[in-house]
Amino acid sequence: GPWYLTDPHSGVGQAAQRALRVAFPGKEPALIREGGSIPITSQFRTILGVETLLLGLALADCRAHSPNENFPLENLEAGIRLNKAVLQELAK
Amino acid 5: pLDDT: 87
- Residue 5: name the closest of 43, 39, 42, 49 by CA: 42
Q: What is the pLDDT of residues 17-54, one digit of tens each?
A: 999 999 999 999 999 887 666 888 889 989 999 988 88
Query: Which residues are within 8 A (CB) of 36 and not within 5 positions of it... i.e. 6 or more apart?
Result: 3
Q: What is the pLDDT of residues 50-89, one digit of tens each?
A: 988 888 888 889 998 899 999 999 999 999 999 999 999 9
**So where are the chain's domains?**
11-90
Main-chain phi, psi angles of 35, to 5 degrees:
95, -150
d(CA 56, CA 52): 13
Report yes or no on whether pTM surpasses 0.85: no
